[in-house]
A and B are shown apart, each in its own frame.
Chain A
């Protein structure tokens, strides 16, 4: 388990314990945190699990595939720090990770 802090667009913080090996998307969904829809359930097919992750975490996080980048490119609220939450498996190194969420996934 690691502690991850999910931050809604309005600033509401949700610090929760998340299992290693699951994904950033699953950590939010299984803790009923609003802000991530995950329509395809982690299939990398829907882009409704987009989150923002600060630069300081860049080197600890698996890099982005071309497919992920293309999906994000069409997201209404994309930013430079956008990732698809379902494509990032949680490791020990993520303890204390802050994940911001967009105002909407559509």
Chain B
């Protein structure tokens, strides 16, 4: 009998989870992964944390050792860029006219960093941070440098700033918006992290837009609306774009990401998608969203596996995320979606507090800094849509576990 065949495009968190979940569900079809990178599937969060710091070997980033794939008969093809999909004939096309047919196709292509225009002459001084190779290059550059400019004050930019500052370099963050993290969080959290970075010696420039980059005898100059900044090199972290052109060019519907339903199925019945590249429905917030998070990649990977095996378990998740900077661990749950009140529990000065975002007397999101209990409690309260008493929430004499009486 000919086995059913599932092809997975991409080899990141979502791709690996899809394959792992298929294996644990005893899927008896053939599984083939095609990834354009040259490493076994690996986790990205440490790239801007311990791996950049040099505290982790790259082997420790891999989700699974090579033997996992061989033992489970997963064919893993690295350095294999998929160029085109033919959804009519159910085939994918690789370089050198190679093609593969499928019964089920999973697109887990993730995102790529948004780029800025850079003259060839200085392109060796401009870095992005998405892959193991990016970090290895940045680490080499750090060794010969004293000063770095980071363009973009999002989570990745801030984590990188913290690490490079710890490594002893002078760091400047340039942010176009009036505050760092503006796109993703509240004023309270933005000003907290601005302060943390400034206290550590990082220069944080907001309301500052980049007008160009130019060569300079002493390195590279970032020309901004507030003057020039000279440093040895530049790291750009101004957001990412979903890798969805492969899908759109084949006729699959996309709109700022590959559109999927709650079963991670695309507009084509044999094609599924998971991870950072999807635009998907979220039941808790009643809207379509695109997320860049490990949790989403894992849960959508699991969902795709159930769709392929026929179990069909709908994706139904409150998003969560974390970020490590200096001695602070930030844990985020939920979306800051039209909240009508903010409650702070704890003390921002002591770097130990939780910010709860409230809508109609229920928590819809929280940002917890060094407050894991508040984070875990928020997860329960948000997914249970529990009504809360705001006065109790800010009252630290009441343990967080007893906040709902």
Contacts and interface: CB of A to CB of B under 8 A. Distances in A.
A26 B295 CA distance: 19
Nearest to B321: A45
Interface stretch (B149-157, B211-219, B235-243, B370-378): B370-378
Give the interface centre of A22, A31, A70 by most chain B CB atoms within 10 Å. Answer: A70
A71 B376 contact: yes
Q: How big is the B interface, by class?
A: 20 to 34
B370 A39 contact: no
B401 interface: yes
Consensus secondary structure, chain B interface: helix
Given A45-B322, A67-B370, A73-B373, A32 B294 contact: no
Given A40-B45, A41-B46, A74 B377 contact: yes
Nearest to A23: B60
Interface string B35-68: 0000000010110010000000000100111011
Contacts of A39: 294-295, 298
Contacts of A26: 60
A34 B24 contact: yes
A29 B372 contact: no
A43 B372 contact: no
Nearest to B67: A32
A12 interface: no
Interface residues of A, number: 20
Consensus secondary structure, chain A interface: loop
Contacts of A67: 329, 370, 372
A73 B374 CA distance: 11
Interface in B64-93: 64-65, 67-68, 71
Given A39-B294, A43-B322, A67-B370, A32 B68 contact: yes
Interface in A70-99: 70-71, 73-74
Contacts of A41: 43, 45-46, 294
A44 interface: yes
A45 B372 CA distance: 8
A46 to B, nearest CB: 8
A62 interface: no
Instruction: Please provide the 4 A-B residue pairs with the shortest distance between their CB atoms, ordered closest to farther.
Output: A74-B376, A70-B373, A45-B322, A70-B372
9 contacts: A30-B65, A32-B65, A39-B298, A40-B45, A41-B294, A44-B329, A46-B322, A47-B376, A73-B373
Given A46-B295, A74-B377, 9 more contacts: A29-B63, A32-B71, A39-B294, A41-B46, A41-B294, A43-B45, A47-B376, A67-B329, A73-B401
Interface of B: 24, 43, 45-46, 49, 60, 63-65, 67-68, 71, 294-295, 298, 322, 324, 329, 331, 370, 372-373, 376-377, 379-380, 401
